[in-house]
């Protein structure tokens, strides 16, 4: 999806004029990319309608700006769809909370139960798991083995046939022992059969859960919506866990699950191992859908550079603009900050350029680059497209030679600097265009 969507949005950039037709074509491409990623058709329609509503083509300025407005609108709409408007459930200290897991067989319930217990246990909560699955042979053994490995107390029975009885007994036992979080694993069936739902309701009545988590396998594609809806119709689903997002699952189903259950996704499963459970972060998820994962780390790093101190840079970033002077000032910042290899390493191309691992050498290299920039004119430093001034034409070569002479370096060195700057500026443009800079900060939310 990422690539397709990015292509769809990028095609906007190739059009000299952006009018109703271009927008229509772009939204069509976006639609087909989303459908291919298993996003539910109703949601796709909702998204494009939302984007259209946000955009007033006549009043959003020039072509470049229009493109950004459209990109940002798509990004925002995706974020909006991901937000059910309900706060996720949280456990309370000083009382026992019961969490019941529901979902089809094979969706990853048992695995996720244990992952969740492990997650809370690491944070200092007293957790236990109750295995109320009497349907699947070996269900209890699975819980027993994995809980033992992770030192999580568990409860189950190989002789009691009634899952509601086991669930009740297990929950009561752990309540008496003042456990904070008691997780009840239930059975699933291959299909949404009446017998599954009946059993689910009985367990539900027996343990009266504080939170019901619906577990869904991300790889089931368009089936997500009806499945999530079927469970929501039966019990009061409060949260969702999407599993197997490490596989080639396209992730679009996650959006359907949120829409169908009107519940937040709280965690995602990213592997079979006990610690492969990640809190769901809307922006991160959408960025991944939009193929923006590579810049996530950079944002964190750049955030540490304290942009608040620099009003001009803030304004530029908001516009997706990054000049040579901005780069100069960032270098200054970095020199002040100490180890910068990490940051440089995140920028494509800077990697080898900066000679990773050799602090002193890198510092000298940076000084050299700043010395080159010191020989540039004010115009060159402040142009939003500084690299264009150094293009491969007469004027560009003249500038290149002048700066090289002035700074006692070779034209090749100046050329390399410009090349790296261009990559950096493109990155900033991309981030700015996606509306990632809020209030002048590289905002994560
Ligand atoms: P249940 O029937 O709903 O209890 O499902 P299980 O927890 O037994 O999981 C079914 C299979 O999916 C097992 O082989 C798990 O290891 C696997 N599984 C569960 N969650 C994930 C995940 O996030 N990623 C991957 N790759 N596999 C998972
Ligand atoms: Mg199970």
The CATH number of residue 196's host domain is: 3.40.50.300
pLDDT at 340: 44
285 within a domain of the structure (yes/no): no
Instruction: Mark whether 128 and 257 lie in a shared domain.
Output: yes
Instruction: Mark whether 114 and 68 lie in a shared domain.
Output: no
Q: What is the pTM of this model?
A: 0.66
Instruction: Mark whether 302 and 381 lie in a shared domain.
Output: yes
Residue nearest to atom 9 of ligand 1 (CA): 108
Interval 45-86: pLDDT, tens: 988 888 888 887 777 666 555 666 776 788 788 888 888 888
Cβ–Cβ < 8 Å for 282, 79: yes
Name the pLDDT band for 92 (thresholds 50, 70, 90): very high
Instruction: Mark whether 57 and 110 lie in a shared domain.
Output: no
Instruction: Mark whether 270 and 352 lie in a shared domain.
Output: no
Q: Over 60: is that where the pLDDT of 308 sits?
A: no
Residue 285 CA to ligand 2 center (angstroms) comes to 26
Instruction: Mark whether 155 and 262 lie in a shared domain.
Output: yes
From 111, 248, 273, the mutation candidate for ligand 1 (largest count of ligand atoms within 8 A of CB) is 111
**Stronger pLDDT, 187 or 247, i.e. the higher one:** 187
Of 33, 56, 81, which residue sits at a domain end? 81
Of 280, 302, 334, which residue sits at a domain end? 280
Instruction: Mark whether 119 and 37 lie in a shared domain.
Output: no
Q: Over 50: is that where the pLDDT of 440 sits?
A: no
Q: Which element (helix H / strand E) includes 105?
A: none
Residues whose beta carbon lies within 6 Å of some atom of ligand 1: 103, 105-111, 188, 243-244, 246-247, 269-272
Instruction: Classify residue 190 by its DSSP letter.
Output: S
Cα distance between residue 101 and residue 181, in whole Å: 13
Highest average pLDDT, of 1-10, 23-32, 173-182, comes from: 173-182
Interval 224-243: pLDDT, tens: 888 999 999 999 999 999 99
Q: Are strands 265-269 and 277-279 parallel, antiparallel or unpaired?
A: antiparallel
**Stronger pLDDT, 201 or 302, i.e. the higher one:** 201
Interval 409-429: pLDDT, tens: 999 999 999 988 888 787 777
Instruction: Mark whether 305 and 339 lie in a shared domain.
Output: yes
Residue 108 CA to ligand 2 center (angstroms) comes to 7
The CATH number of residue 67's host domain is 1.20.120.140
Instruction: Mark whether 117 and 69 lie in a shared domain.
Output: no
Taking the CA atoms of residue 48, residue 51, residue 57 and residue 63 in that order, the dihedral angle to the nearest 10 degrees is: -100
Cα distance between residue 242 and residue 212, in whole Å: 14
Could you list the residue range(s) of the whole structural domain that residue 55 is in?
Answer: 2-81
Average pLDDT of the chain to the nearest whole number: 81
Cβ–Cβ < 8 Å for 429, 292: no
86 within a domain of the structure (yes/no): no
ipTM: 0.99
Mean pLDDT within 333-343: 52
Domain count, the chain: 3
Residue 40 vs residues 196, 222, 230, 266, 344: alpha-carbon distances, Å: 25, 6, 16, 20, 40
Instruction: Mark whether 268 and 312 lie in a shared domain.
Output: no
Structure tokens at 209: 């859960």
Of 248, 280, 312, which residue sits at a domain end? 280
**In which residue are the tokens 């944002």 written?**
299
Residue 269 CA to ligand 1 center (angstroms) comes to 9
Structure tokens at 241: 């866990």
The CATH number of residue 404's host domain is 1.10.260.30
Residue 162 CA to ligand 1 center (angstroms) comes to 24
For the CA of 105, the closest atom of ligand 1 is: 2
pLDDT at 238: 95
Cβ–Cβ < 8 Å for 262, 86: yes
218 within a domain of the structure (yes/no): yes
Interval 122-161: pLDDT, tens: 999 999 999 999 988 899 999 999 999 999 999 999 999 9
Q: Over 50: is that where the pLDDT of 284 sits?
A: yes
Instruction: Mark whether 140 and 262 lie in a shared domain.
Output: yes
70 within a domain of the structure (yes/no): yes
């Amino acid at each position: 999806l990422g690539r397709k969507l990015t292509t769809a949005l990028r095609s906007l950039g190739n059009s000299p004029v952006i009018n109703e037709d271009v927008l229509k074509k772009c939204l069509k491409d976006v639609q087909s990319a989303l459908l291919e990623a298993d996003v539910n058709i109703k949601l796709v329609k909702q998204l494009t309608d939302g984007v259209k509503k946000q955009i007033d083509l006549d009043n959003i300025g020039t072509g470049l700006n229009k493109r950004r407005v459209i990109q940002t609108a798509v990004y925002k709409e995706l974020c909006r769809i991901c937000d059910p408007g309900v706060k996720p459930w949280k456990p309370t200290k000083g009382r026992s909370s019961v969490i019941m897991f529901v979902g089809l067989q094979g969706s990853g319930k048992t695995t996720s139960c244990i992952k969740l217990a492990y997650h809370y246990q690491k944070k200092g909560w007293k957790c236990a798991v109750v295995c109320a699955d009497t349907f699947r042979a070996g269900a209890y053994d699975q819980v027993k083995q994995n809980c033992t490995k992770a030192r999580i107390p568990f409860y189950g029975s190989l002789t009691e046939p009634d899952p509601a009885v086991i669930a009740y007994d297990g929950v009561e036992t752990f309540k008496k022992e003042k456990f904070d979080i008691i997780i009840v694993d239930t059975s699933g069936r291959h299909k949404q059969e009446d017998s599954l739902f009946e059993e689910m309701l009985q367990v539900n009545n027996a343990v009266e859960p504080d939170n019901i988590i619906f577990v869904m396998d991300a790889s089931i594609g368009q089936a997500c919506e009806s499945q999530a809806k079927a469970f929501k119709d039966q019990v009061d689903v409060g949260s969702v866990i999407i599993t197997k997002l490490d596989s080639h699952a396209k992730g679009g189903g996650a959006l359907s699950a949120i829409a169908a259950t009107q519940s937040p996704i709280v965690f995602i499963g990213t592997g079979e191992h006990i610690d492969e459970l990640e809190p769901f972060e809307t922006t991160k998820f959408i960025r991944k859908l939009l193929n923006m994962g590579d810049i996530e780390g950079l944002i964190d790093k750049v955030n540490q550079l304290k942009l608040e101190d620099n009003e001009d840079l803030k304004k530029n970033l908001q516009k997706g603009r990054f000049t040579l002077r901005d780069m100069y000032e960032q270098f200054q910042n970095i020199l002040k900050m100490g180890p910068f290899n990490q940051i440089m390493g995140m920028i494509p191309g800077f990697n080898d350029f900066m000679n990773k691992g050799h602090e002193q050498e890198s510092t000298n290299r940076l000084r050299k680059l700043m010395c080159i920039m010191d020989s540039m004119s004010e115009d060159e430093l402040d142009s939003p497209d500084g690299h264009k001034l150094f293009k491969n034409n007469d004027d560009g070569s003249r500038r290149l030679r002048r700066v090289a002479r002035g700074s006692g370096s070779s034209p090749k060195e100046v050329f390399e600097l410009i090349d790296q700057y261009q990559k950096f500026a493109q990155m900033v443009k991309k981030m700015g265009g996606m509306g990632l800079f809020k209030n002048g900060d590289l905002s994560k939310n």
